[in-house]
Amino acid sequence: MESVLSQQNADFELIVVDDGSRDRTCDYLKPLEDAGRLRVLRQSHQGVSEARNAGVAAGRGEFIAFLDSDDEWLPGKLSAQVEFLRAGEYAIVQTREIWIRKGKRVNAPVHLEKVSGNIFSASLRNCMITPSSVMLARRLWEQSGGFDPAFPACEDYDLWLRICRKHPVGLIPMNLMVRHGGRADQLSALYPGMDKYRVMAIVKLLRSAALSLSQKAEAISVAREKLRIYRLGCEKRDRLEEIAWCGEMESELLGPFGN
């Protein structure tokens, strides 16, 4: 929150969604809320998708930016992105970022190097947009439908695919946020079988019949490969229900979608 409040030359509203916290979050928020520096929405624990969606619904701004509790913005992020979007060529833009893992700076993986333009193909293989680095126009958010609460993880992967299938993504090639990783309470640690949710997102998109023929072919190919990897992990751990689920997904990918 301090990294937001220190943003210069930016007109913004800061909405904090307390998604049923059980620590001292409320104690920390109260004086900032009383001083009018932020608005707090308190709800029972409903997950990251419902929390973000609630925050956006309560906002009034033309543009929307997210900041997860384990990340921080660097000076100038908001003003740079607003200026970029107001130029009118893009409806969504992200920035480059600094990676910190367990307190030490590390290099971002090469396969996650950010680029601008049509990134649908790359986004199928990897989640190429970091929620805390992105800003998008509210009209694009409304068209996309927001985050899907059915996803306990990879909810951002699902949303970015829906957006990237039609819209190019802009990039400000500057490190304007810090991404902290390696914590035990992060979703990537709580849900180790992430490929399951990526397959679910791709199948959901295929069922919507919203893809071009080339996008459909590539989506099926990527989904089958992710499903193969996930199934191997399930077989090693004798997770019989998940193995059966993999079989159902494979049949769907080879059947209606594969024809």
pLDDT value at position 186? 57
Residue 65 tokens read as 């930016």
Name the DSSP class of 109: P
* Cα–Cα distance, 15 to 41 (Å, whole number): 7
**Helix ranges restricted to H, 11-76:** 25-34, 48-58
Q: What is the pLDDT of residue 235?
A: 95
Spatial distance between the Cα atoms of 162 and 201, rounded to a whole number of angstroms: 9
What's the pLDDT score for residue 184? 62
Local confidence pLDDT in tens for the 259 residues of the chain:
999 999 988 899 999 999 999 888 888 899 999 899 999 999 999 999 999 999 999 999 999 999 998 899 999 999 999 999 999 999 999 999 999 998 899 998 999 999 999 999 999 999 999 999 999 999 999 999 999 999 999 999 999 999 999 999 999 999 999 998 876 665 555 555 899 999 999 999 999 989 999 999 999 999 999 999 999 999 999 999 999 999 999 999 988 776 5
Dist CA 233 CA 243 (whole Å): 9
Q: Is 39 exposed, middle or buried (0-12, 13-18, 19+ CB in 10 A)?
A: middle
> What pLDDT shows up at residue 197?
95
Alpha carbon 45 to chain centroid distance?
A: 19
Question: Structure tokens of 22?
Answer: 């059980």
Side chain identity, residue 78: L
Do the bridges between strand 63-65 and strand 135-137 make them parallel or antiparallel, or are there none, so unpaired? antiparallel
Strands (DSSP E) found in the chain: 15-19, 39-43, 63-65, 71-73, 92-101, 104-106, 135-137, 170-181
CB-based contact 169:129 (threshold 8 Å): yes
Alpha-carbon dihedral 17, 19, 20, 22, rounded to 10 degrees: -80
Give, as one character, the DSSP assignment of residue 117.
B
Q: Is the pTM of this model over 0.85?
A: yes
Q: What is the Cα–Cα distance from 95 to 116, expressed in whole angstroms?
A: 10
Alpha-carbon distance of 258 to 114, in angstroms, equals 31
**Which of 252, 251, 232 lies closest to 242, judged by CA?**
232
> How many whole angstroms separate alpha carbon 97 and alpha carbon 154?
19
In degrees and rounded to multiples of 5, residue 100 shows phi and psi of -120, 125
